[in-house]
Amino acid sequence: MSKFSKLIQKQKDQSLPKKHRFNLEAKTNANREGVLCPCGSKQSFKVCCEPIHKNISLAKTPLALMKSRYTAYVMGNIDYLMQSHHSSTRPIAEKDEILAWTNSVNWLRLEIIEAKEAQEEEEEGFVTFKAYFLESGIGNSIFEKSRFIKENNHWTYVDGIHS
Phi, psi of 34 (to 5 degrees): 85, -10
Give the separation between CA 33 and CA 30, rounded to whole angstroms. 8
Q: Which pLDDT score, from 0 to 100, does residue 33 have?
A: 64
Task: Report how many domains make up the chain.
Answer: 1
- Predicted confidence band at 38 (pLDDT cuts at 50, 70, 90)? very high
Within-domain flag for 86: yes
Q: pLDDT for 118-142, tens place per residue?
A: 777 789 999 999 999 999 999 999 9
Q: What integer pLDDT is reported at residue 117 of this predicted model?
A: 74
Report percent pLDDT > 70 for the chain: 80
Contacts of 47 (CB under 8 A, 6+ apart): none
- Enumerate residues 6+ apart whose C-beta is below 8 A from 90: 82
* CA distances to 49, 118, 146, 147 from 123, in Å: 22, 8, 14, 11
Residue 37 in any domain: the answer is yes
Which residues, at least 6 apart from 40, have a Cβ–Cβ distance to it below 8 Å?
67, 109, 110, 111, 112
CATH number at residue 141: 3.10.450.50
Residue 162 lies in a domain: no
Q: What is the pLDDT of residues 42-93, one digit of tens each?
A: 999 999 999 999 999 999 999 999 999 999 999 999 999 999 999 999 999 9
What is the average per-residue pLDDT within 27-53?
Answer: 82
Task: Point out the least confidently predicted range of 12-16, 33-37, 53-57, 71-75.
Answer: 12-16
Q: How confident is the model at residue 18 (pLDDT cuts 50, 70, 90)?
A: very low
pTM score of the predicted model = 0.81
Q: Are 154 and 118 in contact (CB under 8 A)?
A: no
Residue 161 lies in a domain: no
The range of the structural domain enclosing residue 40 comes to 3-156
Q: Residue 46 CB: number of other CB atoms within 10 A?
A: 15
Instruction: Quote the mean pLDDT of the chain.
Output: 83
**Any domain includes 163:** no
